[in-house]
Structure 1
Amino acid sequence: MNRQQLNLLRKNPDLKNAELIETHISWLLLTPHKVYKMKKDVQFSFLDFSTLDKRKFYCERELKLNRRTAPDMYEAVVAVNPIGGGLEFGAYQDNSIDYAIRMRRVDKRWEMAGMLERGEVTTAHIDRLADQLAAFHQHATMDKSLFNPIKALDAFSDIGNYVELFNAQIGPAKTDRIMSSIRIARTFLHKHRQRFHCRRILGFTVEGHGDLHASNVFLEHGQPILFDCIEFNDAFRKIDVLDEVAFLCVDLEAAGRADLSERFATSYQSANRSLLTEEDEQMFNYYKCYRASVRLKVTAIKLDHLPGEAHAGKLLCQLRRYREIYHRYVSKLQTYAHEPLAHV
């Protein structure tokens, strides 16, 4: 879906008053009761929506995967079809020009990120969310394939593909400091590769959500809804459960709620014990470091692709917070990478 097609679609009488939300990879049209999510014609190092067939495939995949955790929210994939001089949503046709996921609209006031900003997230919310995530993981498909430290480092090192972007936003000196952390991650992965593999054999790598941050959780009337999982890259979704927990912990800490981050990790362990050794604790820090790098990268991309966005100042603040958290985790990672393990 390109902007010209989007503008034609918005001329449809049923959509002319729809609210438009733009992200770096999607457009969302919000009507009073429904949301239509369309994938942009874009390609990045981590996804490819550059053809019509790919956008159709990933719309259908997104629907199927998200129904695991939000079955009442994700309804169907619909086509974008020509009608007169405009466009409309409807059934698949030979001349369909694009596709969208149709969802039940959930009131934005239940979005966890906003609730954190307003101080509305309680320990009861956190406990229910931890229990739901633990149950999801316990029933998810396990992946016992060999741990590949090269692929793991490639995932961590993807932040290195955005040097120019970071140079423009935070300056070369701060960018160099971020890039130097890749070497520390390489040392850590090499040192602990046996434990990474052992955890796969033990069943701790599952086909999870893959993008579990605070903006992808609704707490509707206190009940968690996990939505918008990774559909465009299977490797991003087949992860250690500690990696999944770490992602939300990073967002809670970035919101200034380290207490809720600790509560979430503890509650999750009560429901699905997966921190078994001191080495696992160190790996949990590694995953926090990695997830902070993901948040850094995505926030930088948002700033670059939405230069006129009204909340650019907010994004810059988020960039700073994630950078601070990232460096804190890197410091611990460096200690773990170079010092011998204590006896466990």
Structure 2
Amino acid sequence: MLPRALSTTMAVMSEAEIIAWLESGAPFTGEGGGPVEPVRRIDTHAASVFLAGDRAWKLKRPVSLGYLDFSTVERRHAALETELRLNRRSAPALYLGLHRISCAPDGTLALDGAGETVDWLLEMRRFPDGALLEDRVASEGLDDATVVALADHVAAIHAGADLCRVTDGAARLRKVADDNGAVMARYPDWLDAGKVGTLRARIDQLIDRQAPLLDARGREGRIRHCHGDLHLGNIALVDGRPLAFDRLEFDTALATIDLLYDLAFLLMDLWEQGLFRQANMLFNRYLDLSPEDENAIALLPLFMAMRASIRAHVLATRAEQEGGKGSTDAALVGHARHYLDLALQLVEPVPARLIAVGGLSGTGKSTLARLIGGDVGAAPGARILRSDVLRKRLAGVAPETRLDPAAYTREKSHAVYAEIDRLAGVALRSGRAVIADAMFAAGEERTAIRTVADAADCQFDGIWLTLAEDERIARVEARVADASDADAGVVRVQTARHADVPADWLMIETEGDMRALAARIEAILGFGQA
């Protein structure tokens, strides 16, 4: 079914005339004062965007789709005002202002002219072609620095989001699941009815099981007015940094969601692309900055599955719309089925397990943890508890802030290991896999982390990394913007003092390619993505 435009011929002609005028480039002034040419138009189901020079101009389409209504000039104006207000919070450099489209008595159109207002335009700064993260992923993937910057950006958006004190988190999520399931059930020829039924039953079970936690999230202020549509197609690299834009503006209720549900769309997008390591990095960096969410990570497989199932129904609906034009897009149907299968995979239970990675500074503990984290446990992979990061958190500073030697007393180090043990227990009881990344130089530290695994009745593996002192010094001196404060002097002191090598941990020498080493360890321990 195509979007239902206004029924009057005048309204349809007005839209067509406005679009033709915008496509001509006449309203957009280029260098020398002349019109900008050529103008490129991009259509969505509810808007048209005109790319002209260094600007992008958005025109809402006069459509009513049930869940949104842009059928009048007033409604389109209100929607654009809301879009401008919301997006200026997270992307002020992109969202520049609103402009009237006016029509003189002789029918001449103008921007901000003296005639009658016939529609509105949102002016935005245009970012370069290929700047969207979905394009970047397709062409070259995402580097670690971009993933870290992305997590920081999302965490900042969520920290500034409007609080919504609600107590019905489970009921809200159940309504989304029910509505989505009903839409998927409309397409039995494309979305296997048995799979849809299995998915709906599994999601219902998970919501029932997690209902107390879902409701508590609202009381704790973790349900907020979020971005609402946070996927790779709505994030661009602008001036070298990720910037989320195009927030869900037409329904506040749809955007009033759990912070982790907002994050889950992005995690699911990365997971679907096979970027397991990047999804895991994003997840862990976000949690490192959001300690209030540590006790809710059990929700992520459910949230990611719901995001995948919504993508399945949206693609099926688009296929139906294409069918209304006379030809069903087989690729859309195939993608819809793919996302249904992904949703089913995401709700499959995966056993919790605990892996402790120990060794002296510079042996590659954190590098190894990052390389294997996305391959351990349920999506989006293991919770990585890094001692360097937790030490900074306990000190109340950002992960990359350097601490003075007073932060490294025996008492404070004991507090760091106690926090690793506590958070590992929280994650394991939530069904998550955990990688504990710390020196574990003392026998009591290794005994304590194994006890955490025993208490959760889950598998435990200890890995001890070794490397020659000169290689370790070279590594720590090459670090940039890292949570570790170790330097060459620290490495030498550790070498002189350390003699307590664990006999019951897997001993690995880390000279050489760390990716190959990670693959070897995954094979030894029996896990890894297919």
* TM-score, length-scaled by structure 1: 0.85
| 1:247-291: CA deviation from partner (whole Å, max 9, x where unpaired) | 1011111222122111110111111124433xx233111111111
1:32 aligns with 2:57: no
Whole-angstrom CA distance in 2 between matches of 1:208 and 1:341: 24
- What is the CA–CA distance in structure 2 between the aligned matches of 1:25 and 1:176, rounded to whole Å? 33
CA contact (8 A) 1:208 1:237 kept: yes
Secondary structure at the aligned position of 2:124 is classed as: strand
Question: For the Cα contact (< 8 Å) 1:59–1:77, is it kept in 2?
Answer: yes
Q: Which moved further from structure 2: 2-11 or 116-125?
A: 2-11
Gaps of 5+ in 1: none
* Superposed displacement of residue 196, structure 1: 1.1
CA distance in 2, matches of 1:305, 1:86: 35
Q: 1:113 matched to which residue of 2?
A: 134
Counterpart CA distance in 2 for 1:191 and 1:41 is: 43
Question: CA 1:253 to 1:59, structure 2 compared with 1: closer, same or farther past 3 Å?
Answer: same
> Aligned runs of 1:247-262 on 2, under 5 Å?
247-262=265-280
Q: CA deviation at 1:325?
A: 1.5
SS class of match (2:163): coil
Contact 1:9 1:88 in 2 (8 A): no
> Which of 297, 300, 305 does residue 289 from structure 1 map onto?
305
Q: Is 1:213 aligned to 2:234, yes or no?
A: no
- 1:223 is the counterpart of 2:272: no
Verify the 8 A CA contact 2:301 2:346 in the aligned structure 1.
yes
1:165 and 1:304 in contact (8 A); partners too: no
Deviation at 1:4, TM superposition (A): 3.8
Deviation at 1:123, TM superposition (A): 1.2
Equivalents in 1 of 2:75, 2:193: separation in Å?
Answer: 33
Aligned position for 1:126: 147
- Cα distance in 1, alignment partners of residues 161 and 306 from structure 2: 22
- Is the contact made by 1:24 and 1:306 (CA closer than 8 Å) also made in structure 2? no
Q: 1:332 to 1:194 in 2, by over 3 A?
A: same
- CA 1:3–1:316: 2 relative to 1, 3 Å: farther
**1:159–1:293 CA contact under 8 A, matched in 2:** yes
SS in 2 for 1:121: coil
Q: 2:25 aligns to what?
A: 14
- Give the distance between the partners of 1:341 and 1:226, measured in 2 at CA: 30
Question: Equivalences for 1:63-102 in 2 at 5 Å?
Answer: 63-83=84-104, 84-85=106-107, 87-90=109-112, 95-102=116-123
Distance across 1 between alignment mates of 2:209 and 2:270: 29
Counterpart in 1 of 2:211?
Answer: 193
Shift in CA distance, 100/176, structure 1 to aligned 2, threshold 3 Å: farther
Aligned to 1:72, the other structure's residue is in SS state: coil
- Where 2:291 maps in the other structure, the secondary structure is coil
How does 1:137-286 map onto structure 2 within 5 Å? 137-163=158-184, 166-167=187-188, 170=190, 174-277=192-295, 280-286=296-302
Change in 2 beyond 3 A, CA 1:138/1:40: same
2:318 to 275, 282, 302: 302
**Root-mean-square deviation (CA), in Å?**
3.0
Match of residue 492 from structure 2: none
- Kindly indicate whether the alpha-carbon contact (under 8 Å) linking 2:60 and 2:70 is maintained by their aligned counterparts in 1: yes
- The amino acid across from 1:204 in the alignment is R
Q: SS at 1:108's partner residue?
A: coil
2: CA distance between counterparts of 1:300 and 1:187?
Answer: 25
Question: Contact 1:209–1:237 at 8 Å: present in 2 too?
Answer: yes
- The one-letter code of the counterpart of 2:281 is R
Contact residue 169 and residue 216 of structure 2 kept, 8 A:
no
By relative contact order (CA 8 Å, sep 6+), the higher-ranking structure is 1
Instruction: After the TM superposition, list the runs of 4 or more consecutive aligned residues in structure 1 that deviate by more than 6 angstroms.
Output: 340-344
Q: Which range is displaced more, 182-191 or 130-139? A: 182-191
Deviation at 1:62, TM superposition (A): 0.5
Q: Give CA-to-partner distance per residue, 1:223-244, whole Å, 9 cap, x none.
A: 0111000111112222211111
Give the distance between the partners of 1:109 and 1:153, measured in 2 at CA.
37
CA distance in 2, matches of 1:159, 1:264: 27
Quote the Cα distance in structure 2 between the aligned partners of 1:161 and 1:79. Answer: 40
Give me the whole-angstrom Cα distance separating, in 2, the residues matched to 1:185 and 1:31: 45
Query: Relative to 1, partners in 2 of residues 1:106 and 1:341: Cα closer, same or farther, differing over 3 Å?
Result: closer
Q: Does the aligned pair in 1 maintain the 2:62–2:72 contact within 8 Å?
A: yes
Aligned residue for 1:322? 339
- Distance across 1 between alignment mates of 2:339 and 2:302: 15
Larger Rg: 2
Say if 2:169 and 2:217, in contact at 8 Å, map to a contact too.
no
Deviation, 1:194, is: 1.4
Gaps (5+ residues) in structure 2? Answer: 6-10, 27-36, 351-377, 379-428, 432-454, 457-530
